[in-house]
A = this chain, B = another copy of it.
Amino acid sequence: MAVYTEVTDEELAAFVAAYDIGGVLSLKGIAEGVENSNYLLHTDAGYFILTLYEKRVEEADLPFFLGLMEHLSARGITCPLPVKNRAGAALGRLAGRPAVIVTFLEGMWVRRPDARQCGMVGEALGRLHVAGSDFAGRRANALSVQGWPPLLHAVEGRADEITAGLGELVAQELAHLERVWPRGLPEGVIHADLFPDNVFFLSGQLSGLIDFYFACTDAFAYDLAICLNAWCFEADASFNITKGMALLDGYERVRVLRDEEVAALPTLARGAALRFLLTRTVDWLNRAPGALVKPKDPMEYVKKLRFHQRVEQARDYGLNR
């Protein structure tokens, strides 16, 4: 939940006047997204999301993110579409911050996804990978294997405050993954953060994908490994193979995995677990006591990582071959 930057009515009216969307009727700060300030904006032309980019998003990356949303949208992926002002620009400035207006997506994210929803997410991820394959933009994944050592160094001495042995666990896992991390897998644009709160459903159907601010160029199968982590475990950290099967089947209805991707899946799943374990550990150790934004529990990813360490083949995730 996040509204970090306040917008005055005068500033907003001046900003919106540059667009063909009528006058402002209301603006409500919304409690979503931890990286940016998000507002629900109602104008004569309808409802929009107004996003002000805070410091954690690199301004130089914004053309990649906005261009990607336009590209995917034009290829039938339901995602927020940046609205251009009369000068043809999607990116503006408001209250001293880079700012965009994007279209509003209906739907709600599901707190307890079922196997059917996992299947729809797998399919949507496949469509996203295919639709993004001719996108010209490139952005390195700052949170892949070469980005993990700085995170490890940031927490190494204090990780054991969370649970005894955590520092050792992540250090050993990182050393292992650096040795075996797969190279040369099919790659392209990946979402890299397709958790349940970034997928909307409406009337039982997947109605849209949001939050492309971790999107980057990386292995498609790594994105799938992130989704296995995010969608297919139960609250008690047990892996639900029915959900795994549904997710992988859904994905392969759109894009069939190559043999080398299948072989790499357990390693990629360990890497994805380590990536979220590391960032959650950083956030946990740096949390403000009593802050309203409760950092997510790193222990969830300790358990997921331990599960993946015992996995030998993609079949253990429910892959049908």
Binding site for B on A (CB under 8 A): 1-3, 6, 8-10, 12, 23-32, 40, 42, 47, 104-112, 200-203, 287-293
> Are A40 and B28 in contact, CB atoms less than 8 angstroms apart?
yes
Q: Which residues on the B side are within 8 Å of A42 (C-beta)?
A: 47, 106
B292 touches A1 (CB 8 A): yes
Q: How far is the CA of A201 from the CA of B26 in the complex (A)?
A: 9
Copies assembled: 2
Smallest beta-carbon distance A106→chain B, Å: 5
Question: What is the CB-to-nearest-CB distance from A94 to chain B, in angstroms, rounded to a whole number?
Answer: 14
> Which of the residues B27, B201, B292 comes within 8 Å of A292, measured between beta carbons?
B292
- Contact of A108 (CB < 8 Å), options: B3, B27, B107: B27
Residues on B with beta carbons closer than 8 Å to the beta carbon of A29: 1, 30-32
Once bound together, how far apart are the Cα atoms of A111 and B42, in whole Å?
A: 18
Q: Which residues of B contact A8 (CB under 8 A)?
A: 110-112
| A1 / chain B contacts, CB cutoff of 8 Å | 1, 3, 29, 31, 292
Q: Are B31 and A111 in contact (CB under 8 A)?
A: no
Q: How far is the CB of A211 from chain B (nearest CB, A)?
A: 14
Contacts of A25 in B (CB 8 A): 106-107, 202
A106 and B10 alpha carbons, distance in the complex (Å)? 16
Minimum Cβ distance to chain B for residue A5 (Å): 12
B3 touches A31 (CB 8 A): yes
A305 to B: closest C-beta gap in Å = 26
A188 to B314, CA, bound (A): 71
Most chain B CB neighbours (cut-off 10 Å) among A105, A203, A291: A291
How far apart are the CA atoms of A9 and B111 in the complex, in Å? 7
Residues of B within 8 A of A26 (CB): 104-108, 200
Roughly how many angstroms separate A290 CA and B12 CA in the complex, as a whole number? Answer: 28
> Which residues of B have CB within 8 Å of A24?
108
A288 to B106, CA, bound (A): 35
Asked whether B23 lies within 8 Å of A30 as measured between CB atoms, the reply is no
